[in-house]
Amino acid sequence: MFCYQCQETIGNAGCVKGGACRKSESTANLQDLLIYILKGLAIVGVKTRDKGALDKKYGRFISKALFATITNANFDDARIISLIKEAVTLRDELKGNCQIHSYPKIHDSVSWEIDNQEEFTEKAKQVGVLSTENEDTRSLRELLICGVKGIAAYADHAAILGKENDLIYDFFIEALESTTRDLSVDEMVALVLKAGEFAVTTMALLDKANTEAYGNPEITKVNIGVRGNPGILISGHDLKDMEILLKQTAGTGVDVYTHSEMLPANYYPKFKKYKHFVGNYGNSWWKQQTEFESFNGPVLMTTNCITPVKDSYKKRIFTTGMAGYPGVKHISDSGDNQEKDFSEIIELAKQCQPPKGIETGEIVGGFAHNQILSLAEKIIEAIKTGAIKRFIVMAGCDGRGASRSYFTEVAKALPKDTVILTAGCAKYRYNKLNLGDIGGIPRVLDAG
Ligand code: SF4
């Protein structure tokens, strides 16, 4: 295997004998094969698209398949294999529809056998990251692939809420297909920059999907303590799952808490109305092994980040959506536009002890664009008077490395007339420091 798609990569160079995330060699190889088949699907997609618009189902599928390969999302070989099989079916369907016979032979068939580990390992070596020998070409191709993986995650969440954009789906096809051709450095850089533009377009689409469904995030004090009822902990990013869980737990005596990336759910008006939505439990993804243990109740992983599951909570953790972990129960879509059914999790919660408190107090968040704009006058005034001298942006994912305490130290050391703008789970490095406010404006503005 060779994977260097995230900051946790071993030695800042690449994971080669299992991932720092504990991704196994077979999962890494299967994910390489899935990307390879998606490139084949994209080759046919480009040719088909020249003759007319592609059905949305191809873009939807590519979103989901790419999403399954992002860091800490899906470690379940059986699920990746089923995505590979589906990709082959869709590719051949498109090929048949358009009677295309002349695309590169390398993508022409699944000559390897995905149920045979030796064969697929060998094939993965031929098509994985290192199969591109020139380092500059490899870097630019992989940067683009990493970009579309991230865009795919946003696009999938937006699609779940009924918002789609054909241009985003077309870009997946353009980007994936481009990596199968010899392009100049300038052409590859242009595609990477285009991925940046599509990331913004897709975030805007997801923002529209979220805010139309659940209202604009608003300033909220989030409880980080616990109550005495049994609870369910929900993690990841999928707000539709959050909505369904809150509805299905209402009146059952089971409380709901967010974990890690799901913290921003606390800021949406439509969720805040549920009295059994207690607040947030714990910190960012890498502390989950101890926090899931002390939570005592069921945990629902709606997307990344799931880390190796300990036996102590294996029977009470569930995945849904594109998340997956071997041996962990997966809650699938119910189909026919029916809501997912979380009753098994709710029944399990009723038999569990209430969560053990690990901290008390509140954190303040909800400073997404609409809320910030409503505070604009106050903020501009504070800048004019010199009360606020500087804004510092510290955003992105948290990591488990000891050196990540750097961000805590920076936050503590910043002058009192500075404001930190943050988003992503890196915020857990400083969002409980009580850094105070400047004339009522919190010194950590959490956008989500
Ligand atoms: Fe390593 Fe896992 Fe990150 Fe890949 S996703 S670079 S295997 S830690």
Mean pLDDT throughout 209-234?
A: 98
Ligand 1 center–CA 5 separation, angstroms: 6
Residue 51 pLDDT class (50, 70, 90 cuts): confident
Structure tokens at 155: 């696009």
Query: Which atom of ligand 1 lies nearest, measured to the CA of 5?
Result: 6
Domain 10-212 has CATH 1.20.1270.20: yes
Ligand 1 center–CA 75 separation, angstroms: 11
Q: Which residue among 7, 15, 397 has the greatest number of ligand 1 atoms within 8 angstroms of its CB, and so is best to mutate? A: 15
Radius of gyration of the chain (CA): 23
Structure tokens at 395: 């955003």
pLDDT of res. 334 = 85
Cβ 297 vs Cβ 317: under 8 Å: no
Has residue 209 got a pLDDT over 90?
yes
pLDDT of res. 106 = 43
Ligand 1 center–CA 352 separation, angstroms: 34
220-350 CATH, one of 1.20.1260.10, 3.40.50.80, 3.40.50.300, 3.40.50.2030: 3.40.50.2030
Ligand 1 center–CA 178 separation, angstroms: 24
Same fold, 10-212 and 367-446: no
Ligand 1 center–CA 16 separation, angstroms: 9
What's the CA gap between 241 and 238, in Å, rounded? 6
Predicted confidence (pLDDT) per residue in 259-302, tens digit: 999 999 999 999 999 999 999 999 999 999 999 999 999 999 99
Residue found by looking up tokens 């994209």 in the block: 42
- Ligand 1 — pocket residues by CB below 6 A? 3-6, 8-9, 15, 19-21, 23, 28, 71
Predicted confidence (pLDDT) per residue in 414-426, tens digit: 999 999 999 999 9
What's the CA gap between 111 and 77, in Å, rounded? 19
Q: What is the mean pLDDT of the chain?
A: 94
Structure tokens at 248: 């299905």
Has residue 357 got a pLDDT over 90?
yes
pLDDT of res. 123 = 85
Mean pLDDT throughout 377-387?
A: 96
Among 112, 99, 83, CA closest to 44: 99
pLDDT of res. 109 = 53
Whose C-alpha lies nearest to ligand 1, atom 5? 71
Query: Which atom of ligand 1 lies nearest, measured to the CA of 19?
Result: 7
pLDDT of res. 233 = 98
Mean pLDDT throughout 332-336?
A: 85
Strand, helix or coil for residue 278: strand
Q: How far is CA 401 from the centre of its chain?
A: 20
Extents of the domains making up the chain? 10-212, 220-350, 367-446
pLDDT of res. 115 = 74
pLDDT of res. 98 = 65
pLDDT of res. 201 = 98
Residue 127 main-chain phi, psi, to 5 deg: -120, -5
Write the CA distances from 90 to 29, 52, 59, 149, integer angstroms: 21, 17, 11, 19
Predicted confidence (pLDDT) per residue in 71-111, tens digit: 999 999 999 999 999 999 999 898 877 665 554 444 555 55
Write the CA distances from 57 to 54, 145, 164, 248, 296, integer angstroms: 8, 20, 11, 29, 40
What CATH class has 367-446? Answer: alpha beta
Percentage of the residues of the chain whose pLDDT score is greater than 70: 96
Predicted confidence (pLDDT) per residue in 157-194, tens digit: 999 999 999 999 999 999 999 999 999 999 999 999 99
Has residue 311 got a pLDDT over 90?
yes
pLDDT of res. 100 = 57
Q: What is the pTM of this model?
A: 0.95
Whose C-alpha lies nearest to ligand 1, atom 7? 19
